[in-house]
Structure 1
Amino acid sequence: MFQHILLPTDGSDASLAAARSCMRFAAQIGARVTAVHVVPPLHLFTYEPVVTEQVHETYRRNRDARAQEFLVPIAQMAQEASVACNIMLAEADEPYEAIIRTARDQMCDLIVMASHGRKGVRAMLIGSQTQRVLTHSTIPVLVCR
């Protein structure tokens, strides 16, 4: 059975619902969970290196604080469910790539993700990271709606 679950989160209500389902499932099967939040890297071009360093540092602080807002509640859910859980931040231009890479690097044997249920034009414009993970991952993916 599954021993290590990757749980990506974007902080949405759908992600929190998936996290609750994931924790119940992990508790039932005795699996541990790694929760990950993916953020885009900062791409900044300037001729002033000092400005770049300051902007990057501010970006890192804000990024880390926001990630903690999303990840700490998941760690608390895990603790309440008596599930071993670690939290991490990943950086990538394409979140689905970071999710798959993190699952592989952390030796996860299942990815549990939320589906936002977007359809039609909205799905085409915004895209679906869940769909991309489903398409590209060799690791099983459980989608929570």
Structure 2
Amino acid sequence: MYERILVPLDGSATAQQGLQQARQLARQLGSTLVLLHVLEPYPYGMEFASAETWESLIDGMREQATRLLAEGRAQAEAGGVKVETLMVEAPDGRVCDAIVQQAQAQFCGLIVIGTHGRRGISHALLGSDAERVLRLSPVPVLSVRAQS
């Protein structure tokens, strides 16, 4: 049914919960998980940073993303699930757009996304990126909340 499942990871508890749900679903369906980390090109407060500081920050973000994706890969493979990893930059700084674009580019039939990411609760029910993915996605979206 869902041959490829996109799972955005940002290091949050809800993204981790989404990965666990996606892993169970992929194991049952024989699907491949596509783990995605989206780099935000303009972190808040960095508009006035020097070029050296900026490069150092970007390098650190890439290293952190690489570790996050490697941890996700290890968890998925430990559950007997096929997995691919992908790191992309957000077009125009919008994580939600990158998620929707990659779902299409990677031929994913489902997106499994945590309801609140690293930015905290910015909406009553869903995080702003999760809410926009739900509205924009041409494929089904399973939203997962963190366990209480």
Residues 23-43 of structure 1, C-alpha deviations (whole Å, 9 max, x = no match): 011011000011011121148
Q: Name the CA shift for 1:65/1:2 in 2 (closer, same or farther; >3 Å).
A: same
Q: Distance in 1 between matches of 2:47 and 2:32?
A: 41
> What's the Cα RMSD here?
2.4
- TM-score, with length taken from structure 1: 0.83
| Amino acid across the alignment from 1:64 | R
- 1:80 matched to which residue of 2? 78
Q: Which runs of 5+ in 1 are unaligned?
A: none
Give aligned pairs, total.
136
- 1:24 matched to which residue of 2? 24
**In the alignment, is residue 60 of structure 1 matched against residue 58 of structure 2?**
yes
Q: Distance in 1 between matches of 2:55 and 2:89?
A: 15
Q: Name the CA shift for 1:128/1:122 in 2 (closer, same or farther; >3 Å).
A: closer
- 1:115 matched to which residue of 2? 115
- 1:36 matched to which residue of 2? 36
- 1:100 matched to which residue of 2? 100
Q: Name the CA shift for 1:122/1:140 in 2 (closer, same or farther; >3 Å).
A: closer
* Contact 2:69–2:85 (CA under 8 A) maintained in structure 1: yes
SS in 1 for 2:85: strand
Residues 38-80 of structure 1, C-alpha deviations (whole Å, 9 max, x = no match): 121148889xxxx63x445423321111112321221011111
Deviation at 1:6, TM superposition (A): 0.4
Deviation at 1:127, TM superposition (A): 4.9
Q: Distance in 2 between matches of 1:56 and 1:108?
A: 33
Quote the sequence identity (%).
29
- 2:14 matched to which residue of 1? 14
SS in 1 for 2:123: helix
Q: Distance in 1 between matches of 2:80 and 2:127?
A: 34
- TM-score, with length taken from structure 2: 0.81
Q: Name the CA shift for 1:62/1:139 in 2 (closer, same or farther; >3 Å).
A: same
| Amino acid across the alignment from 1:105 | A
* Contact 1:8–1:37 (CA under 8 A) maintained in structure 2: yes
Q: Which runs of 5+ in 2 are unaligned?
A: none
* Contact 1:23–1:81 (CA under 8 A) maintained in structure 2: yes
